[in-house]
Homo-oligomer: A and B are copies of this chain.
């Protein structure tokens, strides 16, 4: 049976060049970059080379890049780091209702610690209104954290405009760019951010490694305490192979971005086309301001999980909601926030294409998907009730 992976937003296969780049650091150049001998210094050179690769991709200075264990750590480090560092200045943080759980749960934790959190509403496409950010800022505001692009519905937020507002008001801006890096321009100066999170496994790099960009001069306390690594901002022995792989994946993402985006868009639009012909089915997220690889739909009267499992049984791998909350039975906070009913939210399906997706894959989906949906609708008590 053909297998078609359409869950690139959850994670991606490592690029062969990334696998190759990492290999010699396992058992050959295995030094600890903190060691002063040759083996250590070779490892340090490799880490610093990756830092330059990342800095270039973000138009940042290498000294502004710290390596983390991934997006969740970067988000936690950014938000808690600023909160604890600036608690003498203020205790107010602004975010949106549709952020990743790594941001929302961090804010929820900080609320218990005495911080005040404003959750901005979004419109039906999931867009944050920059004027809402402006209005929400008080003299107690220390941080605005708004994602670059949403991980479920793919909507791209107006970070440049929000960046301008934050700059004028003298408030730090953090953006979770975990889903956007590799697809969108993540020049930190154009975006106007003080802090930005990325995660290697979302763009064909290894799992377990990410980046937090920290603009020079940004006051932030570390999330980890320990040795002197990363200039005391993120102690722990460097994950040398992971960092090398991240650097390579960043380099490839930049070099291939235009071509990847062109292909993703074509394939994604073909998937959207499959759903357009169906009844009781609609696309979520913004029609244009969306990630080039994301298709997110509601299929009425069917459970997303049933669709997922049925599709999996014919070799098509998709998501309902995000991977990070897949064990939860709660409806997606993102979908509720854009005005979708609890009932309809259960019929969500996310299909995300990637480097290895082919035209033939989409042909196969076009052939299988309508059938799967039809079969499930026949069995669905919700469907029957509605249709009678």
Please give the residue numbers on chain A whose beta carbons come within 8 Å of chain B beta carbons, in ascending order. 3, 5, 7, 10-16, 19, 26-28, 30-32, 34-40, 69-73, 75-76, 100-102, 105-106, 108-109, 199, 201, 206-209, 223-229, 235-242, 305, 308-309, 311-312, 317-320, 322-328
Whether the pair B35, A323 counts as a contact (CB closer than 8 A) is: yes
Asked whether, in the complex, the Cβ of B208 is within 8 Å of the Cβ of A209, the reply is yes
Question: Contact between B37 and A308 (Cβ–Cβ < 8 Å)?
Answer: yes
The minimal Cβ–Cβ distance linking A252 to chain B, given in whole angstroms, is: 14
Which residue of chain B has its CB nearest to the CB of A326?
B34
B27–A226 CB distance below 8 A? no
Given the contacts A72-B235, A236-B73, A101 and B317 also touching, CB distance less than 8 Å: no
**Are B226 and A326 in contact, CB atoms less than 8 angstroms apart?**
no
Residue numbers in B under 8 Å from A35 (CB-CB): 7, 10-11, 317, 319, 323, 326
Contact B227 A324 (CB under 8 A): yes
State whether B37 touches A312 (Cβ < 8 A).
Answer: yes
From A30, which residue of chain B is reached at the shortest CB distance? B13
Number of copies: 2
A326's partner among B3, B36, B75 (CB-CB below 8 A) is B36
Task: Give the distance to chain B from A362, nearest Cβ to Cβ, in Å.
Answer: 17
Q: Are the CB atoms of B27 and A16 closer together than 8 Å?
A: yes
Q: Is the CB of A237 within 8 A of B309?
A: no
- Asked if B40 and A10 sit within 8 Å, CB to CB, the answer is yes
> Would you give 23 A-B contacts (Cβ < 8 Å), ordered by A?
A5-B39, A7-B40, A11-B31, A11-B237, A13-B27, A13-B30, A34-B327, A36-B312, A37-B308, A69-B73, A69-B208, A70-B236, A72-B226, A72-B227, A76-B225, A101-B228, A102-B227, A105-B225, A105-B235, A207-B238, A207-B242, A227-B325, A242-B242
Q: Is the CB of B37 within 8 A of A26?
A: no
With beta carbons under 8 angstroms apart, the residue of B11, B227, B236 that contacts A30 is B11
Minimum Cβ distance to chain B for residue A57 (Å): 21
Are B305's CB and A228's CB within 8 A? no
Q: Are B324 and A34 in contact (CB under 8 A)?
A: yes
A162 → chain B closest CB, angstroms: 22
The residues of B that contact A327 with a CB separation of less than 8 Å are 34, 228
Query: CA A345 – CA B279 in complex, angstroms?
Result: 77
Partner of A309, one of B36, B208, B323: B36
Given contacts A10-B32, A13-B30, A19-B26, contact A226 B324 (CB under 8 A): yes
Q: Which residues of B contact A226 (CB under 8 A)?
A: 72, 75-76, 100-102, 105-106, 324
Name the CB-closest residue of B to A28: B13
